[in-house]
Amino acid sequence: MKYYKMMYNYNHNDVDNWYSCDLVDIKNNDEYALLESKPITNWQTPSFEIDKNEGDILTDLIHNDCGWRIVSPKFINLMQDLIKDCVQYLDVEIKSQEINYYDCKIMHVIKSLEALDYEHSVYTYMGDNNEYLSITKAVLKKSKLDGSHIFRIKDDE
């Protein structure tokens, strides 16, 4: 099985036409809670607004200023059987005058694996106390992979 890092393709031809969302109200949520693989139990629906000056195409992974993985209903339906045990979908409100953005969700990956092969990967530690792992090239240990279609790397949380 091949694995890929889930990220935006900023080199795509029409990237300048993609919608972007700006955070309006985070409620009482911790913006950084989504960086860990712990399930979130006290989520309050945050609201975003479509930035009318940035694009006119709604992608299935919606860019936003929090860096959260906001996904479309199409993405959820296509991936449901593959990743349902590995993610938690959190409610989000996306406001727009023109288009209905109901049923978009924030995808929170709660599955993590200790699968990084430190000997063959390229990475650095960052932060004041080297508490952040920045991975340039990830090599995974086949023996630690369990067939999950989506997961976090344990130390990269």
pLDDT at 122: 95
How far, CA to CA in Å, does 19 sit from each of 7, 38, 50?
A: 15, 29, 7
> Across the 157 residues of the chain, what is the mean pLDDT of every consecutive 10-residue run?
74 68 92 93 94 76 91 95 96 82 93 96 90 88 94 81
pLDDT at 119: 96
pLDDT at 100: 66
pLDDT at 9: 64
Rounded distance, CA 54 to CA 64, Å?
11
Rounded distance, CA 122 to CA 137, Å?
5
Rounded distance, CA 93 to CA 43, Å?
13
| Domains of the chain by residue range | 15-110, 113-156
Contact 61, 17 (CB under 8 A): no
Beta bridge partners of 48: 23, 94
